[in-house]
Amino acid sequence: MGRLFGTDGVRGVANRDLTAELALGLSVAAAHVLADAGAFEGHRPVAVVGRDPRASGEFLEAAVVAGLASAGVDVLRVGVLPTPAVAYLTGALGADLGVMLSASHNPMPDNGIKFLARGGHKLADEIEDAIEAHYDRYGGAGDADWDRPTGAGVGRVTDYGEGFDQYVAHLVAVLPNRLDGLKVVIDGAHGAAARVSPEAFTRAGAEVITIGADPDGLNINDGYGSTHLGRLQAAVVECGADLGVAHDGDADRCLAVDAEGTEIDGDQILAVLAVAMRDAGTLRENTVVATVMSNLGFKLALEREGIRLIQTSVGDRYVLEQMKSGGYALGGEQSGHVILLDHATTGDGALTGLMLAARLAATKQPLSELAAVMTRLPQVLINVPDVDKSRVSSSAELAAAVGEAERELGATGRVLLRSSGTEPLVRVMVEAADTDQAHAVAGRLADVVKRVLGN
């Protein structure tokens, strides 16, 4: 069996790759591994379980709850809530673990299981490995030779409807100022934030118009949300709104749209929040953490503002690891996955949108002016398939071609060659002050990659 856990839990097509049997078995395995690690010692364990609105989440939630309860874990079932809400409630309620059923921005037929440790933090890699090993060893829950609890020892299942209000109240409470006077359009992607985000913005004082806020189990991410901004852009202009906010299916991301309908990506949101937090004295160590895929314009903007940038490998897990190890307060990715570590243990799309709106309300400046703190340089990405990606870092000829391209681009350009983590291809990314130059350099480098590394 290949590794089940990816960078963000276990994902696949629901009822084909991610079956009820797998969900149940992994839940039992998680309970056993955490118990063996001493996480439940001295008390009766409790888990918080939530999901996004996908139809498959209904049977997968039932399987997860059954697995946990059969292993003696009490379950608080919070229903449809964003991933960051489940993380927050896991911490706030003192639960021993959290489980979120979602495939984020993936299409509706997909689903996923993410386990969270006490406090609402991502499980350590070694714990995930142990869960998978336990599952592989016993073939799921059915064949495991374990002492099943009976009678009063089985887990009890409780619907915890208060979670919605607790999470919304938390979001509003951490805002530095109210949003009175702002008109905001929110695209909930027909996903987990369809109720939460509009409610939080409304309680904070904004006038709210919603789109993508009618989930039916089948329409999540379908033409709406952070991967489909067209409808939000049109709605913001039509309504004369100050700001548009788009979430993905599980609402751990946020992209924005200004009053003219122009997209504001994760780099720009990070830049605006970095300046706001620096001015407020909350940008610890005067540092922001982002990945190597961040636009060069973001790096140059932070340099001009006197803010330090630390860059990590691609993936929010690496951003979070760096933030925790260095004690930093702000980090994220161009995709809109923004981590505000003082208030959340993971990327939180609703919180990000609220903080961005709070900056608009406090400064009385339009988003277009605030986002102008950085100039997004043209960025060209070419995927070169069917090559030996293992030789990217060892090819002298490729290194020479990259060096030549970097000299041509100078200080206002950048080259990044990166092996795909999941596919047999190499990604060639070039940034330059001029679009034509970026395309030309990227095309030349892609040709070299194909020639040198081609199979």
**Which residues are documented as binding site for Mg(2+)?**
104, 248, 250, 252
In 82-156, DSSP assigns E strands to 97-101, 110-117
Catalytic residue among 104, 197, 226, 294: 104
Residue 228 tokens read as 């489909």
Is-contact 269 352, C-beta < 8 A? yes
Is-contact 86 116, C-beta < 8 A? yes
CA angle centred on 104, ends 102 and 108, rounded to 5°: 75
Backbone angles phi, psi at 227, to 5 degrees: -95, 0
Tell me how far apart the alpha carbons of residues 38 and 24 are, in angstroms, rounded to a whole number.
Answer: 22
Q: Which helix (H) or strand (E) holds 27?
A: helix 20-36
Other beta carbons within 10 angstroms of residue 218's beta carbon come to 12
Q: Residue 431: which of 453, 401, 408 has the closest Cα? A: 408
Q: Residue 49: which of 29, 27, 70 has the closest Cα? A: 27
At 190, is the secondary structure helix, strand, or coil?
coil
Q: What is the sign, positive or negative, of the torsion defined by CA atoms of 385, 387, 388, 393?
A: negative
Is-contact 85 196, C-beta < 8 A? yes
> Letter for the amino acid at 325?
S
Tell me how far apart the alpha carbons of residues 277 and 296 are, in angstroms, rounded to a whole number.
Answer: 21
Q: Is 368 a catalytic residue?
A: no
Tell me how far apart the alpha carbons of residues 328 and 119 are, in angstroms, rounded to a whole number.
Answer: 18
Tell me how far apart the alpha carbons of residues 412 and 406 are, in angstroms, rounded to a whole number.
Answer: 10
Residue 384 tokens read as 């070169």
Active site members: 104
